Structure 1
Amino acid sequence: MYLSFRSAVVAAMGDALSALDFPTDDLGIERPPEDVPAVLASSVAYRLADVAGAPPPEIAADLAAEIDPDVYAYLEDVETRGPYVNFLPSDRYFDETLEAAQADDYGTLPDTGESVVVEHTSANPTGPVHVGRARNPIVGDALARVLEYAGNDVERHYYVNDAGRQIAVFTWAYETFEESALPEPERDSPEYEMVRYYRKGNDYLEEASESDREAAEEAIQAILQGLEEGDEETYERVSEVVDTVLGGMCGTLGRLPAEFDEFVKETRFMRDGSTDDVVDRLKDLDAAVFEDDAWQLDLPDFEKNLVFLRSDGTSLYTTRDLAHHEWKFDNFDRAVTVLGEDHKLQADQLSATLDLLGHDTDRLQQVFYSWVNLPEGGMSTREGTGVDLDDLLDEAIDRARDEVENRLEDRQRSDDLDSDDVERIAHQVGIGAVRYDVVAKQPTKGITFEWERALDFEAQSAPYVQYVHARCCGIIEEGRGAGQEVPDAVDADALTTAAERDLLREIARFPAVIEQAADELRPHVVATYTRDLAEAFNVFYRECPVLDADGETRPARLALVAAARTTIANSLDVLGVAAPESM
């Protein structure tokens, strides 16, 4: 309904501007001021003041006078307040919103027919997932969910770096050192057991004598060369390490949850010949130069050349990633990649090179994110001194459990929830707090994760929104126990108060929020919406009794609560946050 209403407003404003001989390139449509009971407004009068030689309020009045609400669907009235033209919805708008939001799939948009591959996380399989990189799987998974809600056919891919030097070092170390020479693993999980070899290997390379280090480097180089030449035995040796570590990492990612449809290995594009094919075509480009014993691309918009083939004939990560992206273009309509800000130069060079190779790079969209830090400061994986994501999630669950138990004790509700309920809620709230706090910020802004904010039931956090969902479920369950079911059909005319209408207006916005988040690749837009929706519900809850209401008001308010429950649940689902039925 909101999208249809917006289309009507666009048509009405366009017609009014044309009738007054004003330009129609910018309609100035936006959300109205908070104290205006409209759905949309136009501030275009500001822009037209100089053109028309009249004050904005006068222009707004002239535009409103040109609009006949009866001509446009869902439009009841057009009013002005100062420079704003405000568009008020009809009763039909509220009726259809209330009905639509009863459906479990409310907020999903029609199929676009477009296939989208979302590549995210893609952390090197060298050890446990680190907190600093946790933003990638959280933002990436939320982006995939947003794009699915927006009607796209989405696949989630993890690009596995199994051909770089780090993996060669890891494989050599795993085959070289005895487990008895290693410290105890920090957790009983494959990646924690395996990372000990990786750290041992790096320490050895830094501390060994020159001759020992040269021998190690020769073994490491042999692994890299074997991969480049497609040697099956070398591939199997590397795969044993990579697959073991990756399996453990996926266990951690599954806790978020962040799951994948396919793990695409870098060596795939070496073994099938596509990397060699890319190299041959790159050499034929006018931008190709052979300098410093390596093939490079002299890209005009970059200070640094892109090396794509070393002097020993081995390819580089970006070379193989070019073949990877050509494969994406062959199999998907659009490719979205989530990357850390430290990969921006590499990503920009890759895009420029794909353009030189004749690809439509508008099909490639890249979302960059900044790091997640804890108040204690920065974190590092190489030294083994950082904070692992598992540690953060464990702490989140523990803190959430304490908060839930304290609230039960304060409210003397210990009989309402058993230990299994408390544990379920602790996981839903704890994990939800981490995801929500990360995804609610613009990806390019750094985050310092703070427990007090993330787990604050009263502030704009995941628990705050989750509690509203639980409250909706409680009202509906209480009504059901008293024989008051949510009606199959209801007339929104019974919802007349400002709080009821404001809540309905927020519910109606949800499909448009999905559309905006998908178009702009900004899932934090949905997080902002969940807070607006939760606030609107809490105002309604304070001002409008539901089960004690009279006559037709009671079933209408029950239907409104059910609509709010569905909308909150789905908006949290977009973010990958659980919607508890009790808290």
Structure 2
Amino acid sequence: MDVLRFEDLVYELGDATRPTVVSGAVPENGVLVIRGLVTLRSLIAREVGEAVGRLLRQGGLEWPGGLEPLVEQPARIEHGDYTTNVALQLARHLRKPPIQIAAQLAGELRTLPMASRVEAAAPGFVNIWLDWRWWASHGTMLPEPSKERAAEKVVVEHTSINPNKAAHVGHLRNACIGDTLARLLRRVGYRVEVHNYIDDLGDQVADTVVGILHVPITGRYSRFGDFCWDVYARVSQAYERDEALKARRAEVLHALEAGDNNTAWLGRLVAERVAQEHVAEMGAFGITYNLLVWESDIVREGFWAAAFEQLQRSPLFVKETRGRLAGCWVLKQPQQQEGPAEAAVGQEDEAGDDEHLTDKVLVRSNGVLTYTAKDIAYHLWKFGLLGKEFRYRRFAQGLWTTAPEGTSRPFGRAKRVLNVIDRRQEYPQAMVRLALQALGFGEAAGAVHHVSYGVVSLSPATAARLGMDTSDGRSSYPMSGREGIGIKIRDLLDLMEASIDRERSRQVGLSSRAIAAGAIRYFLLRYNLATEIVFDMDSALDVHGNTGPYLMYAHARAAGILRKGGLESRSVPPAPERVPEISQVERALLRHLADWPDTLEMAAVELNPTLVTTYAYELAQRFTDFYENMPVLKAPEHERPFRLWLVALSRAVLADALDVLGLPAPERM
């Protein structure tokens, strides 16, 4: 039998004139419609919604506002493959006991062709057992991207490291999260454009330039970023002893912003060289960008001037004439419009922003722009609301950069913007949204999403190894570029490569360095975004358990079984016509495979890569359990084709998940 696509199943099972439903949908004129990827769960939810509609009509009732039937996989397999609690939601509308409503719904749903059993369960659940043999012959677990989403461009900004020194593992977490979100959104159908914002006018670049000019450094370095790492730490120490040197930073900042002098050229050369190394370092982890946006171009090409002109039309943007912020241009909170900004000035962060002000300073009294000011201009451009365009030139293969002397390119004009920035930047992000609202761009303000994540700190053992004083007994220690304390990305990759070399019994397939990059990337992705990662060198170097190498090995194992079974193609063959009785181990694997489209959709909606890492790890576990307990190549003749097909499907879904996560899917390992 030919394999049907999910779209065919929608046509076969549904009727567009009746209510349809998918988890998370919103009723439209009494009709619940499938949005995003069409999945097994959404198809069952659709049928549940139609059954609910029939019950409501029988009672002379209209679809209640807020009623949204949800279908989920129960945690315990003995409770079925899918379940819904919609009967509990309907009880007050139908004025019947939930269990009675559940029994009626179960009767309606027993005609589903993919269901082998449907039962009502107290206090009001409807549990559905799937006919997996039917599904093996009719379904597919690899959904097509949503065609509706192709018209919506999403700009994802991530990494955005200050280009003044080598990158450390905390920067890598940002880049791994951002790259995975970009892959995820592309996978479900969006057009995605990835930006890396290069802050070449900030304090950090100024400090490195001051250090290069005035702080002698000796020693041999293989990379410019490593040299700058030490320069930045040394100049920070020198500032504590030399106030005149510290004052030199302000002079350099002004010179960088002016852009027409020797110091500005030096700053640009430093930033470009370091940015090149950053891009190359990220490339080792499969992280790529479409565009580098330079802060200096925002200022020198008049982008901030255009934004300033727009902001002046808003009553929220004022120049203070008295108080501690006299002479500053300030973006005020709506309730703070009257009177001068007398809020206490907070500590400035490394980017030069006044982090804790109720009202946000955008231009300081000395004329220096804050980071947030330039970010507002950048976001107006992202949405095509500024009335100005960059020009571009090639920076590297497949990568463009803003450049005054460049050509036109179709960048920007996003429908939605994702900014991957750590949780300490919540306030500046809120100010960008406030600025868009103040200018009347409410839709754009609502389309800016701050993807927040916890910072990476060091475990006591790792901090001590790096020379930090850990005698105070804290549970974690922050990395500090100013103190030169941190784990550089390339150093970590070298250590992990050596660790994997020691573990490998033979060198076949992927290189140890590629495995190392995958291991580090997965380590940084598998934690919940809000979690602060306490980075421990020994734990990160471990390749056992819930790790990237475990997932890659499971894929290589599946590929090896298929090779021996004569199925070397990466495409999934049609299911065999005869499907044998399915064991509990096979059912558990099929059940998990069927949930991949829903996991993809949920991860894309929630912008949560951890859902994918959790799914992939559990798939690797279930596949391992399957091949260790169910013979495949030595299976009886009538069972062997089905089990080979199940291996092929497992390999394909795992490869899909690994691609979203940015990990290799090796044939041998």
Same fold (TM over 0.5): yes
Aligned in 2, Cα 1:169/1:4: closer, same or farther, shift over 3 Å?
A: closer
Between the two proteins, what is the percent identity of the paired residues? 31
- Aligned position for 2:290: 261
Kindly indicate whether the alpha-carbon contact (under 8 Å) linking 1:453 and 1:459 is maintained by their aligned counterparts in 2.
Answer: no
1:4-153 equivalences in 2 (<5 Å): 4-21=39-56, 23=64, 25-36=67-78, 38-48=80-90, 56-67=98-109, 69-70=111-112, 74-75=114-115, 77-82=117-122, 83-90=124-131, 91-97=133-139, 100=140, 106-111=142-147, 112-113=149-150, 114-153=152-191
Which structure: greater helix fraction?
Answer: 1
Kindly indicate whether the alpha-carbon contact (under 8 Å) linking 2:458 and 2:536 is maintained by their aligned counterparts in 1.
Answer: yes
- Aligned position for 1:217: 247
- Aligned position for 2:275: 246
Matched, 1:288 2:329: no
Please give the TM-score of this superposition, normalised by the length of structure 2.
0.76
Aligned in 2, Cα 1:120/1:503: closer, same or farther, shift over 3 Å?
A: same
- Aligned position for 1:184: 219
Aligned in 2, Cα 1:481/1:117: closer, same or farther, shift over 3 Å?
A: closer
Kindly indicate whether the alpha-carbon contact (under 8 Å) linking 1:170 and 1:197 is maintained by their aligned counterparts in 2.
Answer: yes
Aligned in 2, Cα 1:57/1:395: closer, same or farther, shift over 3 Å?
A: farther
- Aligned position for 1:551: 637
- 4+ runs of 1 displaced by more than 6 Å? none
Cα distance in structure 2, aligned partners of 1:516 and 1:430: 29
Matched, 1:277 2:306: yes
1:484-495 equivalences in 2 (<5 Å): 490-491=576-577, 493-494=579-580
Deviation at 1:34, TM superposition (A): 2.3
1:443-462 equivalences in 2 (<5 Å): 443-450=529-536, 459-462=545-548
Deviation at 1:67, TM superposition (A): 3.3
SS in 1 for 2:522: helix
SS in 1 for 2:668: coil
- Aligned position for 2:600: 514
Kindly indicate whether the alpha-carbon contact (under 8 Å) linking 1:158 and 1:264 is maintained by their aligned counterparts in 2.
Answer: yes
Deviation at 1:33, TM superposition (A): 3.7
Q: Of 346, 371, 374, which aligns to 2:428?
A: 346
Kindly indicate whether the alpha-carbon contact (under 8 Å) linking 2:236 and 2:483 is maintained by their aligned counterparts in 1.
Answer: no
Cα distance in structure 1, aligned partners of 2:545 and 2:135: 32
Aligned in 2, Cα 1:36/1:553: closer, same or farther, shift over 3 Å?
A: same
RCO higher in 1 or 2 (8 Å CA, sep ≥ 6)?
1
Deviation at 1:233, TM superposition (A): 5.3
User: What amino acid does structure 2 have at the position aligned with 1:539?
Assistant: D
Cα distance in structure 2, aligned partners of 1:571 and 1:495: 28
Q: Of 198, 202, 207, which aligns to 2:241?
A: 207
Kindly indicate whether the alpha-carbon contact (under 8 Å) linking 2:232 and 2:482 is maintained by their aligned counterparts in 1.
Answer: no
SS in 2 for 1:172: helix
Cα distance in structure 2, aligned partners of 1:33 and 1:226: 61
Deviation at 1:39, TM superposition (A): 3.8
Kindly indicate whether the alpha-carbon contact (under 8 Å) linking 1:107 and 1:149 is maintained by their aligned counterparts in 2.
Answer: no
The runs of 5 or more residues in structure 2 that have no matched partner are 1-5, 7-36, 57-62, 321-325, 337-356, 385-412, 461-475
Deviation at 1:74, TM superposition (A): 4.3
Cα distance in structure 1, aligned partners of 2:492 and 2:106: 55
Cα distance in structure 1, aligned partners of 2:239 and 2:544: 52
Deviations 1:306-353 (A, max 9, x none): 111122223221111111111111122211110011111111111111
- Aligned position for 1:299: 333
Aligned in 2, Cα 1:108/1:463: closer, same or farther, shift over 3 Å?
A: farther
The root-mean-square deviation of aligned C-alpha atoms, in Å, is 2.8
Cα distance in structure 2, aligned partners of 1:272 and 1:326: 14
Deviation at 1:49, TM superposition (A): 5.1
Deviations 1:31-87 (A, max 9, x none): 1242237442102334455666665433321221233525xx745553233332123
- Aligned position for 1:577: 663
Q: How many positions carry a matched residue from both structures?
A: 550
SS in 1 for 2:554: helix
Worse-matched range after superposition: 136-145 or 8-17: 8-17
Please give the TM-score of this superposition, normalised by the length of structure 1.
0.87
User: What amino acid does structure 2 have at the position aligned with 1:260?
Assistant: Y
- Aligned position for 2:563: 477
Kindly indicate whether the alpha-carbon contact (under 8 Å) linking 1:495 and 1:501 is maintained by their aligned counterparts in 2.
Answer: no
SS in 2 for 1:157: strand
Kindly indicate whether the alpha-carbon contact (under 8 Å) linking 1:455 and 1:461 is maintained by their aligned counterparts in 2.
Answer: no
